[in-house]
Amino acid sequence: MNVTSYGAVREVTGSMHLLTTKHDRILLDCGMFQGRRKESNEKNHVLSFDPGILTNVVLSHAHIDHSGRIPFLTKQNFTGRIICTRATYSVCEFLLPDSAHIQESDAEYLNYKSVRSALLQMDSRKKKKNNKIEDIRKKLKKNRHKLDVEAINEIITTYNLKKIEPLYTIEDAEEALSFFDGYPYKHPISIGKDMSCTLYDAGHILGSAITIIRAAENGRTYTVGYSGDLGRFDKPIVNDPTLEFDNADRKLDLLIMESTYGNRVHDPVKDLKPHLKQVLIDTFNRGGSVVIPCFAYGRTQELLYVLHELYHEDDVPRMPVYVDSPLATRLTRVFGEHPEMYDQETHASFLEQGKNPFMFDQIHFVGSVQESMELNRETKPHIVVASSGMCEAGRILHHLRFKIHNSKNTILIVGFMAMNTLGRRILEEGEAYAQTGREGKAPVLKFFNKEYPLKARVVNLGGFSAHADKNELLRFLKDSNLQIKKIALVHGEEEQSESFANDLKNQGYSVVVPRRGETIPVY
Contact 132, 125 (CB under 8 A): yes
Pairing state between β 2-7 and 519-521: antiparallel
Sorted by sequence, the CB contacts under 8 Å of residue 157 that are 6+ apart come out as: none
In this prediction, the residues of the chain whose per-residue pLDDT falls under 70 are 125-127, 144
pLDDT of residue 125: 66
Q: Helix 149-158 crosses helix 86-122 at what angle (to 10 degrees)?
A: 60
To the nearest 10 degrees (0 to 180), the angle between helices 326-336 and 299-312 is: 70
| pLDDT at residue 465 in the model | 86
> pLDDT tens digits for 234-292?
998 999 999 999 999 999 999 999 999 999 999 888 899 999 999 999 999 999 999 99
Residue 130 has a pLDDT of 74
pTM for the model: 0.88
Map residue 182 onto helix, strand or coil.
strand
Q: In what order do the strands lie in the sheet with 220-226?
A: 189-192, 195-201, 209-217, 220-226, 254-258, 487-490, 511-512
| 150-171 burial code (b ≥16 CB/10 A, e <16) | eebeebbeeeebeebebbbbbe
Tell me the C-alpha distance between 499 and 265, whole Å.
13
Report whether 4 contacts 485 (CB < 8 A). no
Q: Which of 460, 462, 514, 463 shows the shortest CA–CA distance to 487?
A: 514
Strand, coil or helix: 208: coil
**For the sheet containing 457-460, what is the strand order?**
363-365, 321-324, 383-386, 290-293, 410-413, 457-460
CA distances to 7, 99, 333, 386 from 67, in Å: 12, 10, 20, 21
Helix (H) or strand (E) holding 445: strand 444-447
Q: What is the pLDDT of residue 127?
A: 67
For residue 269, which phi and psi values (nearest 5 degrees)? -60, -35
Q: Are 376 and 324 in contact (CB under 8 A)?
A: no
The Cα–Cα gap between 268 and 252 comes to 30
